[in-house]
Structure 1
Amino acid sequence: MSTEEGAPSASEEMKRKFKEALDKKNARHRDGESHLDGESAVHAANAPQTRREFRRKSG
């Protein structure tokens, strides 16, 4: 197996492609707004807590 010293191997080429795709993905996410000042639609997430009552089945 002889490879040229200037040519990247298949694994190096794959790593380069993945890095480019990851950089492109991260750049797209950085451009958006964070919406940290927005208010949640859920205000009362928990229902009033009552003690549960368990009864045996008769019959």
Structure 2
Amino acid sequence: MVKISYTITEAVEASSFSRSRLYEHIRSGRLKSFKDGGRRHITAESLHQLVRELEAGESGRAA
């Protein structure tokens, strides 16, 4: 089964970003998240989009 959202802990494992880095991206608006009860979730698509944006930024700088 394909996951459509991750808890912060799961997103850390899936992405290899640190917890604090994920929260920085959430605060800056680059990574969308939502709360369900007391737990914060990140959609898989939002996490994939962040990686694409970071990758595009890297390729734009490498010349």
TM-score by length of 2: 0.37
Structure with the bigger percentage of strand: 2
Structure with the bigger percentage of helix: 2
Determine which structure has greater relative contact order: mean sequence separation of CA pairs < 8 Å that are 6+ residues apart, divided by chain length.
Answer: 2
Decide which structure has the larger Cα Rg and report it: 1
TM-score by length of 1: 0.39
